[in-house]
Amino acid sequence: MIIARGLTKVYGDFTAVDGIDFEVRKGEAFGLLGPNGAGKSTTMKMIASVSKRTGGELTILGLDPNKRGPEIRAHLGVVPQQDNLDRELKVHENLFSYGRFFGLSRKFLKNKVEELLEFAQLTEKRNSKAEELSGGMKRRLTIARGLVNEPEILMLDEPTTGLDPQARHILWDRLFRLKEQGVTLVITTHYMDEAEQLCDRLIVMDKGKIMAEGSPADLIKRYASKEVLEVRFGSSKNQEVAEQISHLGHRTEVLPDRILIYSENGEEDLQAILKMGLEPVTSLVRRSSLEDVFLRLTGRTLVE
Amino acid sequence: MSTTTPVEMPVHKSQWQGSKKLVNVSRARNFAWLHVTEARLRNMMKWWGSIAAFGLGNPVLYLFSVGIGIGALVDANGGSTQLGGVSYLTFLAPALLTSAAIQAYQDETSFPVMEGFLWDKNFFAMNSTPINARDIVNGVMASAMVRTLVTVAIYEGVLLAFGAITFDVALPMFFSAILAGAAFGAVMMAVTTFVKEDDGFFAIVGRFVIAPMMMFSGTFYPLESMPSYLQWVGWISPLWHGTDLGRTISYGSPQQPWVTMFHWVYLTIWLAAGLAFAYRQVAKRLSA
């Protein structure tokens, strides 16, 4: 569906995307993971065929987006980072109006709009102006709008940023259903849980480059241990304690507020710490996540 | 559907066909500018009441106050000799008509651009479909024309009722006013694409472009009666070219045929240059 080879985007003397390679296959949910400014959104804009690459190759649905933009866009569903709904139009008019841009007939759209309203759980809000909706509703409407042409590829840029937990879960559920449908999803996020929930495969980006690629489970296996023990001794003591316990686990990582110990058995390591007579303020044993992968790869946390 | 049962995917109701089957790309491309026009008109319909009220109220107010009020003064003092032998009302009518067309175009070319790039960012939404920059510009211009057609038609109706123009010149005057409006609108659209922040842009345009243009384009008195060092404003202004054209059409104000021709050509060049400029600017901003 999408093939990128040495894909590059340079703005003036700033290289936003620095020669990345990846492929997205039909029907998979592909994630671009990374902190703000990693080049995810720029990559998305190039795939969305609105921003032209400055180097490398990019093929979407077999076509070159620099030359055949409108043709490719006919088969994409785009959910931008920032909702760009028409505030003056009613909810159902937003869907209808957008559908017309694809040249879809009024008759087809009449039914389609009702289906999408149901899908987005906005049937009761159909006659509200878009500007009157809550953040979660606007997001759902934007996603529904992106489905009006029954796209081959649905692109979601930070789909749940700024949403409350309940709204996020509703959205994830909707996206999951689409995936079951066979729609190819391309998702950017800086939320690890979101990536783990939704993506079959992902690339971790930082400073315009790809740091790693694989399924969430793969990446965790490759770059992190099975478990993580998190201990806090108070910010002034963390560094000092870390030196004393550096022999525990495979690896330790000192963050400003806590120490992470990567190990096969976090509980055992915690007991070892207690035996040494050290008393952490708080302690937590958890499974490794993509957050740890990112930390390992870049030496930084994702959300700073 | 109750909230307790899981919401079903659209596909269970009607078959998910996929965009390959659903979207006729060449059709979508051929009518792309029309789809933008349609969307703009849909937005405009939200304001049709104010558009109609303004369209009717504006000429009525102007004609009573300036046309008849000041007109009585001018005509009583033998002013018509300097106005090519016609009443002040007749002299003023083509100018008012042209400026109404320009105003209507200004509204419908500048606000959509602000909305499209700054307020709603809906140009970006359009551009994520088969629509491209050129379609957006053409669609905005076409919808502005629809609005202006209505405004000018109402205006002419009022002018006819006041006896300010005659029936036989209504149609050609219609064209000259629309052309002047479109020429101004195209340039206005291109200029508005430069606005990056909404900080009093419209106040600046109103005070430093629209107001001087109204004052110095031979709207209320012949351009020739202004000091020559100020006449250049009129020569540049599409309002003056449109007005002078309208006056020739309306009451045959003495003019060389080449001057008439020049007005048409000048306005057409503004329109073409404005469009070309707007195409470039909108494309640039969409891909940034």
The pLDDT tens digits for A134-179 are 988 999 999 999 999 999 999 999 988 877 888 888 888 888 888 8
User: Domain A2-215: what homologous superfamily?
Assistant: P-loop containing nucleotide triphosphate hydrolases (3.40.50.300)
Q: Where are the domains of chain A?
A: 2-215, 225-287
The pLDDT tens digits for B81-95 are 888 889 999 999 999
CATH topology of domain A225-287: Alpha-Beta Plaits (3.30.70)
pTM of the complete model: 0.89
The ipTM estimated for the assembled molecules is 0.88
- Quick one: pLDDT at residue A180? 86
Percent of chain A scoring above 90 in pLDDT: 58
Distance CA B157, CA B160 (A): 5
The pLDDT tens digits for B231-251 are 888 899 999 999 999 999 999
Considering only alpha carbons, which residue of chain A is nearest residue B121? A84
Distance CA B48, CA A259 (A): 64
The pLDDT tens digits for A173-231 are 888 888 888 899 999 988 888 888 899 999 999 999 999 999 999 998 898 888 999 99
Mean predicted confidence (pLDDT) in A94-100: 97
More confident residue, A189 or A75: A75
Contact of B2 with chain A, judged by CB distance below 8 Å, is answered with: no
Contact B129 A97 (CB under 8 A): no
Contact of A270 with chain B, judged by CB distance below 8 Å, is answered with: no
Contact of B24 with chain A, judged by CB distance below 8 Å, is answered with: yes
Contact B128 A48 (CB under 8 A): yes
Mean predicted confidence (pLDDT) in B174-198: 94
Contact of B286 with chain A, judged by CB distance below 8 Å, is answered with: yes
- Quick one: pLDDT at residue B288? 78
Mean predicted confidence (pLDDT) in B93-115: 94
Binning pLDDT at 50, 70 and 90, where does residue B153 land? very high
Contact of A52 with chain B, judged by CB distance below 8 Å, is answered with: yes
Biggest CA–CA distance in chain B, Å, is 84
- Quick one: pLDDT at residue B13? 55
Is it the case that residue B253 has pLDDT exceeding 80? no
Domain A2-215 matches domain A225-287 at the CATH topology level: no
Residues from chain A contacting residue B20 (CB–CB below 8 Å)? 75, 152
Mean predicted confidence (pLDDT) in B246-266: 89
- Quick one: pLDDT at residue A211? 92
Residue B34 near residue B141, CB atoms below 8 Å: no
Considering only alpha carbons, which residue of chain A is nearest residue B18? A150
Contact B23 A100 (CB under 8 A): no
More confident residue, B288 or B100: B100
Considering only alpha carbons, which residue of chain B is nearest residue A51? B287
Give B197→chain A minimum CA distance, Å: 17
Binning pLDDT at 50, 70 and 90, where does residue B4 land? very low
Angstrom CA distances, B211 to B146, B195, B215, B253, stand at 25, 20, 6, 25
- E runs forming strands in chain B: none
Q: Where are the domains of chain B?
A: 27-287
